[in-house]
Structures are given as structure tokens and as C-alpha cells.
Chain A
Amino acid sequence: MSNTLSYSSITKKIWMSLFGLFLMTFLVVHLSINLLLLFDPSRELFNIAAHFMGTNPLIQIFQWVLFAGFGFHIILGVILQIQNWMARPKGYKVKGTSEDSVFSKYMIYTGMIIFVFLIIHLGNFFVLKMQGDVPEFHQPGAGEMEDMGLLVVNLFRNTGYVIFYVIMLLLMGFHLDHAFQSAFQSLGLTHNKYTPFIKGLGHFYSIVITAGYIIIPLIIYFR
């Protein structure tokens, strides 16, 4: 920790972006698995994928890399934020009104909310799975596995949860929208010609990811 604290501001930002970009690729993988619930209402594909993710030794190892990624991203974010608050001990009477990116101002808040969501999310699925509280899924030929899909579907039939989920995902979308181009900026990957494309891609990414995640509970809820 003390070592992390003494890293220079830019080093921290570079790590922050690398972890962030890594987490963004995870979101794509996660979404593609979730979407299986829509394409295959029998939940078979989803459960196979979930089973694979839950049992494949490589993925099992990688899972800890992912946790570490989340962990560092969050810890760095908090350290950066505390330093930022310390840099202005006395604030302004009139709050800033400059023409900057709106989402960028609230990264720590959207980040913290996403963190809370992550805990609940892990509680909903991961912990249950660890405790073996997941119903069995019987599928001829595929052997026995846990019916993770049923857990999801049940949750997505709960009105309150769907509303909560949609709000959380929107906030994550805001976080991502700034995060994508910001990561490239922090890594110094800017260029007159390509930066507008990266920014566009960032908006595209955050909209597709957010819409993709949100559409699943909505379809299941109204199905």
C-alpha cells in the first residue's frame, strides 16, 4: 500500500486505465454470456457457458486476476480521489461551471455505486454458488450442472430488482462513457486523426454495453 501511495500520479493513472480497459473487455464477455438467455429461453446455452466459466481451471485462475483487477481499480480510484480532495482543502462558494464532460465529474460516485452493486451482484450469484444453494439443471446428454440461468430469470421477474438493476446499469454506462476515452487519454494514446474515432467508439461501446445489459431483464420481465 505504501508503495502504491508513493507511485506518481501518472503511474497511478496509467494503471487505473489499464485495469479499466481490462474490466471493459470482461464486460463484453459477461454480456455475451448473458445474451444467451435471450437467444435460448431453455437456458441450456447459458448454463453450459456458466458451467464452463465455473469449472474450467484456466478460467478459475483468471477469475482471481479479474478480482484483482477490480480490486486495484477500486483502490487506486479511492486513493486518487482522496488525494484530489486533499488538493483543495477549501472549496469555492460558487461551484465550477465550465464546459467539461459531465460524467467525468462524478466518476468516484458512479464508481462507488457500481462497487456496491458489484457486492450485491456477487451476493446474488457468486456466494450462492459457492454455498451450493443453486438448483440443479438436468439436460440429457450434457450431464448435471447448476441452473444459474434460473437464478437470473427469477431475479429478473422481481419488479424492484429490475428497476434497481436498470438504474445501476445506467450509472455504469455513464461511468463507461467517460472511462473509455479517458483511458486512452491517460495512456497518452491520442492523435489528431484517431482521437475523434476513439471518442466515438467509446460512446458506441458504452451505449451498446449498457443497452445490452438492460435489455435482458426487460425482455425477461415482460416475456
Chain B
Amino acid sequence: MDLKLKIWRQQGPDAQGKFVEYLVQNISSDASFLEMMDILNEELVAKGEEPVAFDHDCREGICGMCSLYINGRPHGPDTAITTCQLHMRKFKDGETVVIEPWRAKPFPVIKDLMVDRSAFDEIIQAGGYVSVNTGGVPDANAIPIKKENADLAMDAAACIGCGACVAACKNASAMLFVSAKVSQFALLPQGRVEANNRVENMVAKMDVLGFGNCTNTYACEAVCPKEISITNIARMNREFFVAKIS
């Protein structure tokens, strides 16, 4: 298939960016979206032009590195998917595909389609852990955990930190990301010990970094590659409320 691509090109963090049009031809519908980008880049390099910079690594939908906003949707036109798992069969021959970087104040563009998501690391550093050191922990089966809770914690822990939730949210809110981590630990006895501090610190960090507020539009849940549920946000609100009044 042939495609017309409109890609955001931006030389550096402070440079002015613009959309540049490219044509790619004879793309197999079995190719992945990033393989299509590879083909484009190979052509650009062969022509002596600079390839399009975009983040990607594992290419199996788990590292959370890939981050393209494709035709108005993070990770493109499919559900429960990352860009690297998106295949060209989801596009029509001759289609125009607009590719933009994640847009949010805390995610500044580094180059072209690559953004800096270290804000997420900072939020985790604010409390996204159980404060145990290596060694000296009880036996793994010492505390039984209700299977339902373990499963819910796993659902939340599946977050890959890609930032699609922020990219999709009209407010660039990071609530789904933060609440997934808060929920995972809130549901497990190991995490409950410092639950109050954790939720207050992580939310405070999220606010300071300049993410928007949640207005419950649920766009985040709709685009999340791991289908993290917005009930995690409600759980975090609840945890936060309890932490504040206790």
C-alpha cells in the first residue's frame, strides 16, 4: 500500500517544529507501523536526509517506549495496543496519516516525535515503591493475599508507563498512570503500610510537574494499551481523601 505521511519534525527542544509530508510506497499490510517508519528512515538516509527520530525499543508492546500520536489517537487506530504492535492492515491504501508527538507540558519534545517522559520517573520516585531494603523480608507465603486483590493489583501493575493516557487526555492529566501505581500498592498488604504517605506524595509531585486535572472524560482508559481501568482513579481519589482526613 502507499501512504501519505504528515510527520512533525522538530530539530531540538527549543526549535520551531513543522509538519513535513512524505510518501511511502509498497508497504506490506503485514508490516508493523514502526517497520513502516524504518522503511521511511532507510529511504531518508539513502537520500542523505536525516531520519525521523522516534522512541521505540522492545517492539513487543511491553517496554512502553513507543509513543506516536497517530491520526488523533495515541498508538493509533486500534484498541489495547502500542504503536509497535499496530500493523499496517489497520490503514487504507492511499490514506493520509498524521503523526505527532505526545503533547503535554511535562513531556517536552526532544526531537521530532521523541518526548521526555522523565516526569513519570519523578512521580514514581515520589513514592511509587514499598520501602523495604534487600534482605530481611518475611517468607513470600507469610501473608496470604486474597486472589481478587492480587488480580486487581496485577491489572493495575500492568501499566507500561508509555504516557498514552496523558497524550489522550484533553487536560494532559496523569491520573491514570499515578492511580495505577497507587492502586497496585493500596491493594496489597505490603503496600498498605505506607499507603497514606504514598498517595499524598505522588499526587503532590504530579501536580507540581504540571499535569492537568482529571475531569473524568475517560479518554485515558480508552487508549491505554494495557486497558488500565479508571476505577483505579476512583480508588486513588478515595485513598487520597482518607489520607487527607486521617
Contact = CB atoms under 8 A, between A and B. Distances in A.
Physical contact A–B (CB less than 8 Å): yes
Interface of A: 8-14, 80, 83-84, 86-101, 104-105, 107, 178, 181-182, 184-190, 192, 195
B213 A105 contact: no
Residue picked from A83, A96, A185, most chain B C-beta under 10 Å: A96
Contact of A92 (B103, B218, B236): B103
Contacts of A89: 105
Interface string B112-141: 000000000000000000000000000000
A105 B171 CA distance: 10
Nearest to B231: A190
B236 to A, nearest CB: 7
A185 B216 contact: yes
Contacts of A105: 170, 217
Nearest to A89: B105
Contact of B213 (A80, A91, A92): A80
Contacts of B244: 11
Nearest to B8: A93
A73 to B, nearest CB: 14
A8 to B, nearest CB: 5
A213 B13 CA distance: 53
Contacts of A10: 203, 236-237, 240-241
A188 B234 contact: yes
Interface residues of B, number: 48
B213 A84 contact: yes
A142 B37 CA distance: 81
Interface of B: 6, 8, 19, 69, 71-73, 98, 100, 103-106, 168, 170-173, 175, 200, 203-204, 206-207, 210-219, 222-223, 230-231, 233-241, 244
Nearest to B222: A98
29 contacts: A8-B207, A8-B240, A9-B207, A9-B213, A10-B236, A10-B241, A12-B213, A14-B240, A14-B241, A84-B215, A86-B105, A87-B104, A87-B106, A87-B172, A88-B172, A88-B212, A94-B72, A96-B73, A96-B219, A97-B73, A98-B223, A100-B219, A101-B217, A107-B215, A182-B216, A185-B216, A185-B233, A188-B240, A188-B241
B211 to A, nearest CB: 6
Contact of A97 (B72, B103, B239): B72
A104 B169 CA distance: 11
Nearest to B232: A190
A93 B215 contact: no
A8 B212 CA distance: 11
A188 B200 CA distance: 15
Contacts of A95: 72
Contacts of A83: 171, 212-213
Contacts of A8: 200, 203-204, 207, 240
A104 B217 contact: yes
Contacts of A12: 213
Contacts of A99: 222
B71 to A, nearest CB: 6
Nearest to A187: B237
Nearest to B211: A87
Contact of B210 (A14, A87, A192): A87
Central interface residue in A10, A11, A97, A195, by most chain B CB within 10 Å = A10
Given A10-B241, A87-B173, A182-B216, 9 more contacts: A8-B207, A13-B237, A84-B212, A88-B171, A91-B103, A92-B69, A92-B72, A92-B100, A184-B234
Contact of A188 (B170, B204, B236): B236
A210 to B, nearest CB: 20
A100 B234 contact: no
A84 B200 CA distance: 20
Contacts of A97: 71-73
Contacts of A94: 69, 71-72, 98, 100
Contacts of A107: 215
Contact of B241 (A86, A178, A187): A187
Contact of A96 (B72, B206, B207, B235): B72
Given A13-B237, A99-B222, A186-B237, A87 B212 contact: yes
